[in-house]
Structure 1
Amino acid sequence: MKLRKWQSEAIGSALLKYQNGVRNFLVLATPGAGKTTMSSVLTERLFKLDLIDLVICITPSVSVKNGFYQDLSAFTGEPMHGGLGARGSVITYQSLSYLKKDFWEIFKQHRIFVIFDEIHHCSGNDQFPGNAWGQALLGEIKENAVHTLSLSGTPWRSDNIPVALANYDKNNLVLPDYVYGLQSAVADKVCRAPKILAIDNNGIMVRKPNEDKSERFDGISKLIKGSSISFQQILDCEPILKYTLKKAIDLLSLANSTSPNAAGLVVASNIQHANLIYNILNIELCQSAILVSHKVPNAADLIEDFRSSSTDWIVSIGMISEGTNIPRLQVCCHLSRIKTELYFRQVLGRILRTTTNAKEIGHMIILAEDALLSYANRVAEDLPMESATLKVISPMQDELTEPATPEEHESDTSDFWSNKTDDFGFEPLTEYSLSDARLEPECGGDHIIKPTSEISLFGSFLDRLITLKLCQLN
């Protein structure tokens, strides 16, 4: 198999450092770039050079675990089932806390190479106590593994604790050993060019109960800032959902014209939200779709079947975020209430994996909420390293990232990215009531719901397209 240029460079750099006494190697590569293949070939080289006896790979989910198991077995030609005669094992981070003491004894008896996929799941260092997974890494693996390979496409955490095994400079910026960013991946045709479509509405009315007067907002961000309406309630608003899903269907139809088996992903907030989206797609919009969540039996099998099926859409609640490899996904609706940059980039990564068609585009649709727009602009600027800055002064803050200033966006995006705003006229909608629900405890632990306001849409929908000039098609 011919490796991509970045994969060969990363493997060569890692081997050189390992042979010169460096134990830990951190690779930051954009989601969809091929980190699993790179890691598997590196493992095969380490076996051939007789630098390791065994390999242990730790992944964030079962679906990612299965992919790593297949690649490691294929590239090394060695069994990776973890049993008698195996040369390795693939486990999940969740299983670390269930490992018995004798498991860790093999580190004292053999030269173990450990691969940490999506290392940002593990937190902590000598100064900051981390989570349970990070403590296992630091306590049992860091000093006992002969070499480690840490992988991430999103090298920061939302809890503001350092990523385990990562080094930071004096400005608290993560110091990787090898970086392969989105700009490079798109230019090399390793990843699809991303196009992000932000949906807004310029006529949203809010009226509180027992009040005749309504307040108008000319955008989703202003609605959230100026009223008691939450982002989740906007995500639940059926007219907004239907408009967004119709735009997604149009984009998928466009993708199908060149890639007949292209499919779409909708990331929902919760079970009720996912069921609503599924019913709209299936019943009202006549799309074939499946729904997967942790409560759906055999969800992992459904995801596996979807990879090669002809089903148009998969609706997910967090099960298809990072590491899940479904190359036919080309359109994504990010309709989750989770608004961290980490999650945003993980979801975007699901539609950037290339197939044999070099002209494919990855289309992502979001609502025009301030944080999501900020992340979209950061993707436009391709600033993963700036995003990995750690704000150690305020360890309890929710976000690790320093948002770029409007001036930075204006100057830095002019060379590579273009922002285009298209206004699409939309017939005035009948009033759509959306209660601003507040759950209050009642005797016996039950809950009552008190609606406090309702919203109505009477404006036009506006679509803002954020896209890469360098990769625009003629």
Structure 2
Amino acid sequence: MNLKLRPWQSEALAKSLKWLVEDRSDRRFLINAAPGAGKTLASCAIAQALIERKEIDRVVVIAPRAEVVSQWSEDFRRVTGRFMGKVTARDGDISTLGMDVCATWSAVQGLMPELQSVCRTSRVLVICDEHHHAAVEAAWGTSADSAFADSAFVLVLTGTPVRSDGAQSVWLAYDDAGAIDHPDAGTYTLTYGLAVDLGYCRPVTFHRHEGKFTVDLEGGHSVQVSGHQPAELPKDLVRIPGLQTALDFYRLARTPQFEPDKITPKLNGYQATMLDWGSQKLTELRQRMPEAGGLVIAPSIEMAEYMVDLIELLEGERPLLVHSQMPNPESRIKAFRNTDKRWLVSVAMVSEGVDIKRLRVLVYLPNALTELAFRQAIGRVVRTAGPDDDTRAYVVMPSFETFEVYARRVEEEMSASTRSGKDEPRTKRCGVCGHECALGARECPGCGHEFPVAPQRLKACEKCDALNPVTASSCHACGASFSQTFTLTLDEALRAGAIVRGMDLDETEVQLAEQMAPNVRNLILRSGDNRLVRILKTLPDESWARLKTILVAES
């Protein structure tokens, strides 16, 4: 294939060949480039050049997830014309296959002897995608270090070079500050800010979604919690074990809120207002990019299902859900990539390396609070759709210090012109013929395509009754802030689990215990055993599932 490389990719190709082949300085070359900048194609071009120079016989790619491995296989064949087989630990002796292979980082541990044999009998280029998955102390890192010790060359790729557990990755040295310490001549770096300026990535705008929670406690007490105001408990409640943890802002932000039927999600709850803002922004973006999509990253499967229900209530269309417990989740991701469906809701499945260029809105409510996870998630919505793509990416996230620190660092990488994002679109683009049309046009003058009419959702100002767009942060008429207060009972606040008499229980334990409690209570009372009755009075109903787990484990 006659591949047309971006200027940075051509520079990385030339620099890598000089380091690896011409100067023979070291067998390892590092590409540290922003997510979406095109590391995969650059790497395939380097592999092709080494093959043509007869420096290598085979290529082995290690990537984070099965979906990413599949993308590697397709891109590698497109660039080099060579088939790359996807292998797992179940494939056994891969050395006899005689072809280029790709696998996940987790599969390396089970393939260690086979990969080691391949590297000893052939001249192998190992491409390590998302290098932070390999750490010196972690099982994957130990496996990778052993399996590829005899490889001819190692190409290390990363857009997020720091592991979330703080461990150092194999093959590369680190300085005292924890930054990768690899020679400049053996490294090519492309920051996110520069990638935006060069048009390789879209600029991102962060919406810090404010919210104040009022939690009603027992005895007439209530506490206020926000992202910048931790709960101040009354003196008589300070000593209750686990209560402060239960009232943590981010925990409350991840707590589903229901109508009195305890089934229907609240349309005025915190998560609903996050999604409403994201929904309106996605509708606006679709005027410039008709196929634009949104991604919700949820903290758990239960919360993901809740967000799916909320989006359906808000928009009337049920989004696509994908998580690890579903059969063949990779096919669902691929299906979303090739449709114009508005929303994809995920639990840690659409992260590093997954390429869905039409994603432009991210609603970020994850379980992980690391900067690594934060930057990986942003990388899903900043990939450019081509030279005519003039959209921005938007991240809707809870407004609290941890995320705001990460967001400021990303913003500081961007130039002032791309950071502002003040320009509003003056036209909308037809999704059929690409014609630029007036914003108010009902149909395309070029092809006659009728534009879908999206009703604008408005909210009334509580102070002056003026109507404002849902995405407004303050009233256009009187300037009043639209920061909302969300009221929860203590039971609701603890619904993501339970803090009962000092026991921190998760939601699964609570639900199972609620089913068990009536039968357990009846059996103990009918037994007439006073000691068991005393235990019944001591242990809360919510604890029975945990007690069952302990007893089963000991039996």
Q: Indicate whether the TM-score tops 0.5.
A: yes
* 1:29 lines up with 2:33 in the alignment: yes
Q: Which amino acid aligns with 1:269?
A: P
Does the CA contact (< 8 Å) of 2:160 and 2:372 recur in 1?
Answer: yes
Q: Which amino acid aligns with 1:64?
A: V
**Residues of 1 paired with 2:410 and 2:483: CA distance?**
33
Q: Distance in 1 between matches of 2:231 and 2:404?
A: 14
Q: Distance in 2 between matches of 1:427 and 1:196?
A: 16
Hey, what's the Cα distance between the residues in 2 that align with 1:118 and 1:441?
35
TM-superposed CA distance for 1:101, in Å, is: 2.6
Q: Which residue of 2 aligns with 1:204?
A: 213
Shift of 1:161: 1.1
Task: Note the aligned Cα RMSD (angstroms).
Answer: 2.8
Contact 1:288/1:312 (8 A) holds in 2: no
Instruction: State how 1:132-147 maps to structure 2 within 5 Å.
Output: 132-142=139-149, 144-147=150-153
C-alpha displacement at 1:85, in angstroms? 6.5
| Mapping of residues 73-92 of structure 1, within 5 Å | 73-81=77-85, 86-92=98-104
C-alpha displacement at 1:213, in angstroms? Answer: 3.2
Task: Output aligned runs, 1:24-63, within 5 Å.
Answer: 24-63=28-67
Q: Aligned residue for 2:390?
A: 359
Which residues in structure 2 correspond to 1:291-310 (within 5 Å)?
A: 291-310=321-340
Other structure's SS at 2:107 match: helix
Structure 1 residue corresponding to 2:221, chosen from 205, 213, 232: 213
Take 1:225 and 1:25, find their aligned partners in 2: how far apart are those partners? Answer: 52
Q: Is the 8 A contact 2:36 2:201 kept in 1?
A: yes
Structure 1 residue 360, shift from structure 2 partner: 1.3
The correspondence of residues 50-449 of structure 1 with structure 2, limited to 5 A, is: 50-81=54-85, 86-99=98-111, 101-124=113-136, 130-142=137-149, 144-169=150-175, 171-176=177-182, 177-201=187-211, 203-209=212-218, 211-217=219-225, 219-223=226-230, 227-228=244-245, 229-230=247-248, 231-238=250-257, 239-356=269-386, 357-382=388-413, 417=419, 422-423=473-474, 425-426=481-482, 431-433=487-489, 434-436=492-494, 437-438=498-499, 440=503
Secondary structure at the aligned position of 2:205 is classed as strand
How does the TM-score come out when normalised to structure 2?
0.69
TM, length-normalised to structure 1: 0.81
Amino acid paired to 1:66: S
Query: 3-state SS of the aligned residue for 1:366?
Result: strand
Q: Tell me how far apart the structure 1 counterparts of residues 418 and 291 of structure 2 sit (CA, whole Å).
A: 30
Cα shift readout 1:268-318 (whole Å, capped 9, x = no counterpart): 010110010000111343134110001112211111011011211000000
Per-residue deviation at 1:24? 0.5
* Post-superposition offset of 1:170: 5.1
Which amino acid is 2:223 matched to? E
Match of 1:16 in 2: 18
Check conservation: 2:197, 2:418, Cα contact below 8 A: no
Distance 2:408 2:61 in 1: 34
Is the radius of gyration larger for structure 1 or structure 2? 2
Which consecutive unaligned segments of at least 5 residues does structure 1 have?
125-129, 384-412, 452-474
Distance in 2, Cα, partners of 1:34 & 1:13: 16
Distance apart, 1:214 and its partner CA: 2.4
Deviation at 1:204, TM superposition (A): 3.1
SS at match of 1:145: coil
Q: Give 1:265 shift.
A: 0.3
Q: Is residue 321–residue 346 contact of structure 1 (8 Å, CA) maintained in 2?
A: yes
Aligned counterparts of 2:227 and 2:389: Cα–Cα separation in 1? 35
Any unmatched runs of 5+ in structure 2?
87-93, 234-243, 258-268, 423-471, 476-480, 515-539, 542-555
Mapped to 2, the partners of 1:427 and 1:245 lie a distance apart of 15
CA distance in 2, matches of 1:276, 1:237: 7
Q: How does 1:451-462 map to 2 (within 5 A)?
A: none
**Percent of matched pairs sharing the same residue:** 26
In structure 2, relative to structure 1, the CA distance for the partners of 1:198 and 1:213 (3 Å cut) is same
SS in 2 for 1:81: strand
Cα shift at 1:86: 4.8
1:425-472 Cα shifts (integer Å, max 9, x gaps): 559778443233226489xx9656989xxxxxxxxxxxxxxxxxxxxx
Partner of 2:532: none
Measured in 2, the distance between the counterparts of 1:312 and 1:321 equals 18
Preserved CA contact (<8 Å) 1:206 1:214:
yes
Deviations 1:69-100 (A, max 9, x none): 11111111112127766531011111112126
Q: Distance in 2 between matches of 1:23 and 1:427?
A: 55
Contact 1:79 1:86 in 2 (8 A): no
Change (3 A) 1:3 1:427: closer
Shift of 1:191: 0.1
User: Separation in 1 of the partners of 2:192 and 2:504?
Assistant: 48
Check 1:12–1:233 CA distance in 2 against 1; reply closer, same or farther (3 A cut): same
Q: CA deviation at 1:378?
A: 0.8
Residue in 1 that maps onto 2:535 = none
> Cα–Cα, structure 1 residues 446 and 34, in superposed 2: closer, same or farther, change >3 Å?
closer
**CA contact 1:138–1:165 (8 Å) conserved in 2:** yes
Looking at structure 2, the residues matched to 246 and 374 of structure 1 have their Cα atoms a distance apart, in angstroms, of: 24
Structure 1 match to 2:8: 6
> In terms of mean alpha carbon deviation, does 47-56 or 156-165 score higher?
156-165
> For this pair of structures, how many residues does the alignment match?
412
Higher RCO, 1 vs 2 (CA within 8 Å, ≥6 residues apart): 1
Q: Distance in 1 between matches of 2:232 and 2:348?
A: 26
